[in-house]
């Protein structure tokens, strides 16, 4: 017998309302125990919830959804409570005291939806992103995936690839028998080119991890260039220690910030120098260089000529120093908020380019790697050796099917469900 599970499904109290969901075979009984009678299915009704002694717990908007056409595929009860901590705790305690009911594990509601066939794997992954989404852009990307847009595209590719594969197979199995293939004149690479283009386009989508974790903006340059001051100014708070002493920042400092619906990770680094006797500073410099390698955007506060490729060249301490306005991209002064806002505008513009149009969805690491595998297999099809071409088509086909869930593995699922917070 499946347990019936419950959890607070809205944000942490206190809040205006708190939604507690109950899913499983005892959901109806649990609702009746608390509310006396339940409103008709799928219709909200106001009910007075009472504990076993008859004491009032709360006045709650109560909804009951009979399985299997529910979010989890099971009977589902929703209690919209007043969002105080005490109220929620009391209702949860009343639920926990019922036989067959227990608190949900993290991700358990979605796990049940998946097990009960209410979601496919790609949708479940999209939902995980949606629930974690903190910014509007993350939300749009996740929603696209949860709605199954990506699944539809992949099914279309699979159809088209199997058409191509069928022609190759006909050539291999009947090529010597005249009848079937006489008229085909099979030329594979042009046949596959449109699919390859579409797949490559999908691969240019931003990684969903980047959306989740934020665009990584790294401040770098020589010692005492004003990186930490600028770091603080961009954050709007004194997160880094700022002194006039060269080499104050000896480690990597990181802070998250959301601007105009986009998440960022700002990274302050140790000043780059070749002359340090301080082993701690030396380690900091090594780390700084490592950060430069993974940065989405570098703010370079050193000599413009020494800037890494594609770095945004900043003339910092604009109030103290003269900068050559031709060779730097932007001049800032931490004492001039307008210059900081203008820098943010540039960062935002660069990031938008980086992230592209998210309305069509972002790409998971798992999807990206399978898609890359499929794409490189298709790119290897050269029309010379049909047997190997057929094998490449088969590899592409398998990889795409795996995105839809054929290749579900234990580890992948655990990783997926490990990301849910309780009650979703």
Partner 1 sequence: MKQFDVVVVGGGHAGTEAAAAAARRGASVALVSQSLAQIGTMSCNPSIGGLGKGHLVREVDALDGLMARAADDAAIHHRMLNRSKGLAVQGPRVQADRRRYRASIQHQLARYANLTLIEGEAFALHLTNGSVASVALADGSTIGTTAVVLATGTFLGGKIFRGLDRAAGGRIDERPANRLGEQLRALRLPMGRLKTGTPPRLDGRTVDWGALEPQPSDNDEWRMSPMTRTPRLPQLACAITRTSAATHDIIRNGLTTSPLFGGDIEGGGPRYCPSIEDKVHRFGDRDGHQIFLEPEGLDDPWIYPNGISTSLSAEVQDALVRSVAGLERAQIVQYGYAVEYDYIDPRALDHRLALAAIHGLFCAGQLNGTTGYEEAAAQGVIAGCNAAALAHDLAPTTVDRARGYIGVMIDDLVLQGVSEPYRMLTARAEYRLALRADNAEARLSGWADTLGVLTPARQAHLRQRHAMRDAARDGIQDGVDADILREIEEDRRYAPYLERQSEEIARMRRDGDVAISSDTLSLRSVPGLSTEMIERLERASPKTLDEASRVRGVTPAAVAALWLHSRKRT
Q: Is 408 in the site for partner 1 (CB under 8 A)?
A: yes
User: Contacts with partner 1 in 44-83 (CB under 8 A)?
Assistant: 68, 73
Residue whose CB is less far from partner 1, 363 or 399: 399
Q: Of 92, 134, 147, 169, which one interacts with partner 1 (CB under 8 A)? A: 169
Residue 20 C-beta: closest distance to partner 1, Å: 24
Q: Of 340, 346, 395, 415, which one interacts with partner 1 (CB under 8 A)? A: 395
Q: Is 149 exposed, middle or buried (0-12, 13-18, 19+ CB in 10 A)?
A: middle
Give the C-alpha separation, 355 to 359, whole Å.
11
Q: Of 340, 346, 401, 422, which one interacts with partner 1 (CB under 8 A)? A: 401
Q: Is 387 in the site for partner 1 (CB under 8 A)?
A: yes
Give the C-alpha separation, 126 to 115, whole Å.
16
Q: Is 252 exposed, middle or buried (0-12, 13-18, 19+ CB in 10 A)?
A: middle
Stretch that binds partner 1, among 49-57, 264-272, 361-369, 381-389 (CB under 8 A): 381-389
Is residue 244 marked as binding? yes
Residue 394 C-beta: closest distance to partner 1, Å: 7
Query: How far, CA to CA in Å, does 35 sit from each of 32, 48, 54, 120, 324?
Result: 5, 6, 10, 34, 74
Residue 130 C-beta: closest distance to partner 1, Å: 20
The token pair at 302 is 């050193």
Point out which residues pair with 77 in neighbouring strands.
22, 64
Cβ pair 240, 231 in contact under 8 A: yes
DSSP-derived secondary structure letter, 218? E
User: Residues 6 or more apart from 105 whose CB is under 8 A from it?
Assistant: 5, 111, 422
Residue whose CB is less far from partner 1, 267 or 390: 390
Q: Is 411 in the site for partner 1 (CB under 8 A)?
A: no
Q: Is 160 in the site for partner 1 (CB under 8 A)?
A: no
Contacts with partner 1, 177-206, as mask; x by CB under 8 A: xxx--x------------------------
Give the C-alpha separation, 286 to 270, whole Å.
9
Residue whose CB is less far from partner 1, 54 or 117: 117
DSSP-derived secondary structure letter, 358? G
Give the C-alpha separation, 143 to 398, whole Å.
26
Q: Of 3, 51, 105, 120, which one interacts with partner 1 (CB under 8 A)? A: 120
Q: Of 93, 306, 365, 388, which one interacts with partner 1 (CB under 8 A)? A: 388
The token pair at 142 is 């996740």
Give the number of residues in contact with partner 1, rule: CB under 8 A. 34
Cβ pair 157, 199 in contact under 8 A: yes
Per the annotation, binding residues for GTP are 224-229, 243-249, 268-271
Per the annotation, binding residues for Mg(2+) are 228, 249
Binding residues for partner 1, rule: CB under 8 A, are 68, 73, 114-118, 120-121, 169, 172-179, 182, 385-388, 390-391, 394-395, 398, 401, 404-406, 408, 410
């Amino acid at each position: 017998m499946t347990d019936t599970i419950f959890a607070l499904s809205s944000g942490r109290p206190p809040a205006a309302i708190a939604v507690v969901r109950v899913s499983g075979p005892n959901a109806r009984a649990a609702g009746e125990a608390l509310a006396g009678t339940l409103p008709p299915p799928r219709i909200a009704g106001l009910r007075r919830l009472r504990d076993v002694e008859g004491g009032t717990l709360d006045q709650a908007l109560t909804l009951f959804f009979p399985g299997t056409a529910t979010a989890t595929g099971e009977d589902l009860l929703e209690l919209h409570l007043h969002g105080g901590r005490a109220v929620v705790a009391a209702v949860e305690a009343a639920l926990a005291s019922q036989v067959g009911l227990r608190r949900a594990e993290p991700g358990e509601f979605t796990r049940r939806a998946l097990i009960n066939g209410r979601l496919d794997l790609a949708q479940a992954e999209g939902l995980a992103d949606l629930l974690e989404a903190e910014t509007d852009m993350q939300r749009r990307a996740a929603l696209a995936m949860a709605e199954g847009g990506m699944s539809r595209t992949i099914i279309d590719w699979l159809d088209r690839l199997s058409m191509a594969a069928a022609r190759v197979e006909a050539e291999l199995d009947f090529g010597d028998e005249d009848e079937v293939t006489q008229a085909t004149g099979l030329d594979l690479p042009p046949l596959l080119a449109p699919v390859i283009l579409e797949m490559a386009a999908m691969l240019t989508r931003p990684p969903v991890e980047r959306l989740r974790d934020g665009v990584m903006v790294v401040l770098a340059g020589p010692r005492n260039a004003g990186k930490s001051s600028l770091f603080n100014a961009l954050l709007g708070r004194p997160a880094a220690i700022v002194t006039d002493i060269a080499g104050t920042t000896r480690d990597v400092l990181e802070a998250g910030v959301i601007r105009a619906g986009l998440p960022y990770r700002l990274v302050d680094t140790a000043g780059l120098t070749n002359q340090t006797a301080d082993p701690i500073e030396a380690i900091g410099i090594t780390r700084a260089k490592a950060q430069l390698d993974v940065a989405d955007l570098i703010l370079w506060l050193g000599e413009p000529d020494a800037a890494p490729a594609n770095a945004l060249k900043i003339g910092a301490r604009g109030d103290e120093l003269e900068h050559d306005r031709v060779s730097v991209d932007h001049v800032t002064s931490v004492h001039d908020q307008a210059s900081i806002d203008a820098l943010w505008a540039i960062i935002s513009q660069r990031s938008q380019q980086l992230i592209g149009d998210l309305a069509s969805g972002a790409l998971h690491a798992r999807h990206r790697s399978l898609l890359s595998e499929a794409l490189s297999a298709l790119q290897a099809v050269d029309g010379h050796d049909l047997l190997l071409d057929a094998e490449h088509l088969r590899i592409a086909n398998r990889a795409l099917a795996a995105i839809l869930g054929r290749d579900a593995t234990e580890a992948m699922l655990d990783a997926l469900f490990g990301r849910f917070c309780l009650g979703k």
